Amino acid sequence: MLRFAPSPTGDMHIGNLRVAIFNYIVAKQLNEGLIIRIEDTDKARNIEGKDKEILEILALFSIDYKTVFYQSENIKYHQKMALQLMTQKKAFACFCSDDKLEELKEESIKKGIPFRYDNFCETLSDETVLNTNAPFTVRLKKPDHNIKFKDLLKGEFDYAPFDIDSFIILRQDKSPTYNYACSVDDMLMDISMVIRGEDHISNTPKQIHIRESLGYTKEIKYVHLPIILNAQTGKKMSKRDDASSVKWLIEQGFLPSAIANYLVLMGNKTPKEIFTLEEAISWFDIETISRSGAKFDIDKLRFINRKHIETLDEMRLSKILGFADESIGKLAKLYLEEASTIKEIKEKLDNIFSIKTTLEGFENESNKIKEVLQKAPYFEEYEDLKNYIVEQTQLKGKNLFKPLRYILTGVENGPNITDIYPFIKNYIGEITR
């Protein structure tokens, strides 16, 4: 079983989506189920509705899964197992205040050493703990041996007990901390492989230590994916980068199929550049992903998006644009030389169907042509329409073609009218209203 475990604390960013896509592909390759686990135990940071937004985005990308699970539903198990650890003297109650811990951190900073808990409360007797009427956290005792694991992408890791420390597993309100809830749930859900970002590498030994303390010995395979870098700055993509938000990319008119294509392509050797997610399942190899940060280049995504639009069925493209006419889909593809997204193409179509006044410098000509077009009969061929307008207005040259183009397209430049006309001839009345 694999899992994708987002937190409902903000917009899904491309790093999260890449993790979801890789989990989906590998789950398909291994013929195992995929669980979506909403990690919602940090109530203070949860944003209402973000869980549904995450699921809607997964649906947009056709990422199917076995079930959706909310981590908060497992709190009773988190607490029960913490009590088990305390009973077995593997965990202990910690009464140290936030002020005391902050003081210890300040001392560590002055000494230039990493902060580690001083284990003051670990030695308290059961009687002292029982008679202490104060709020407490629960800490897991640091391991008595090194924690080792192999990352399928990055190789071997080895953490000493000092690196892991005696860390908190239950907060004062008895809600589970991230590492504790995550490791217990991975155990309960029988997770076989964890694919996530490399910012979680330092969490992995703690989670292994938690499961070992609970007597769970099944090995979980790990893959920690490199961070995504901004191609322009070379730095990690941040929330300040619009393109880091999947929601923003969709709103800008990037197709889910193109975004998925690019996220698989980044930092990867693929048999071809343009492909679907389903095609990738047959050849994708998680162990050959680049170990260095993958650069996200919005211009490259625009190129890939254009290619995906080109392959869309014209009727489907038309419906995406708000129509239900194959001709509109064909018209949309005419603009792919100057537009790369659905939003940009939609703007071109909006210009065509907008109410126009007159073209500056050609006011009289515009009025004449518009009046003729409003009364004109239906013409199958553009040449016949043009000849009819010439006959009715006696206009020619730029006095004819510049205002005519403006009235039919809303702009002064673009594809040839002869190329556009076959797809708008049934809409002349609406276009010239």
- The tens digit of pLDDT for each residue in 253-304 reads 999 999 999 999 999 999 999 999 999 999 999 999 999 998 999 999 999 9
Nearest CA among 37, 374, 19 for reference residue 181:
37
| Superfamily classification of domain 2-65+227-303 | HUPs (3.40.50.620)
- Predicted model pTM: 0.92
- Give the residue-averaged pLDDT of 156-177: 96
- Give the residue-averaged pLDDT of 193-207: 97
Say how many CA atoms lie within 13 Å of 229 toward its Cβ: 13
Per-residue confidence at 386, pLDDT binned at 50, 70, 90?
very high
Q: Per-residue b/e over 140-166, b at no fewer than 16 CB within 10 Å?
A: bbbbeeebebebebeeebebebebbbb
Distance between terminal CA atoms of the chain? 59
Ramachandran angles phi, psi of 80, nearest 5°: -60, -40
Q: Where are the beta strands (DSSP E) in 254-366?
A: 294-296
- Please answer whether residues 347 and 322 qualify as being in contact, where contact means their C-beta atoms are separated by less than 8 angstroms: no
- Give the residue-averaged pLDDT of 70-94: 96
At 133, the amino acid letter reads N
Q: Give yes or no for residue 417 having a pLDDT over 90.
A: yes
Q: Which two tokens stand for residue 177?
A: 């901390």
Predicted pLDDT at 358 = 85
| DSSP assigned state of 18 | H
Q: Give yes or no for residue 235 having a pLDDT over 90.
A: no
- Please answer whether residues 359 and 344 qualify as being in contact, where contact means their C-beta atoms are separated by less than 8 angstroms: no
Spatial distance between the Cα atoms of 239 and 38, rounded to a whole number of angstroms: 20
Spatial strand order of the sheet with 2-4 comes to 67-70, 34-38, 2-4, 193-197, 221-225, 147-151, 155-159
Q: Give yes or no for residue 402 having a pLDDT over 90.
A: yes
Predicted pLDDT at 17 = 97
At 199, the amino acid letter reads D
Predicted pLDDT at 334 = 96
Per-residue confidence at 243, pLDDT binned at 50, 70, 90?
confident
Spatial distance between the Cα atoms of 57 and 47, rounded to a whole number of angstroms: 16
* Maximum pairwise Cα distance, the chain: 106
State the CB neighbour count (10 A cutoff) for residue 319.
Answer: 14
239 is in an annotated binding site: yes
Spatial distance between the Cα atoms of 51 and 29, rounded to a whole number of angstroms: 27
Q: Which two tokens stand for residue 324?
A: 């239900």
Beta-bridge partners for 239: none
- Give the residue-averaged pLDDT of 95-114: 88
State the CB neighbour count (10 A cutoff) for residue 419.
Answer: 13
* Span 305-315, pLDDT tens digits: 999 999 999 99
Report domain 72-225's class: alpha beta
Predicted pLDDT at 322 = 95
The H or E element spanning position 2 is strand 2-4
Nearest CA among 1, 2, 6, 14 for reference residue 70:
6
Match 């140290």 to its residue by tokens: 96
Spatial distance between the Cα atoms of 57 and 422, rounded to a whole number of angstroms: 37
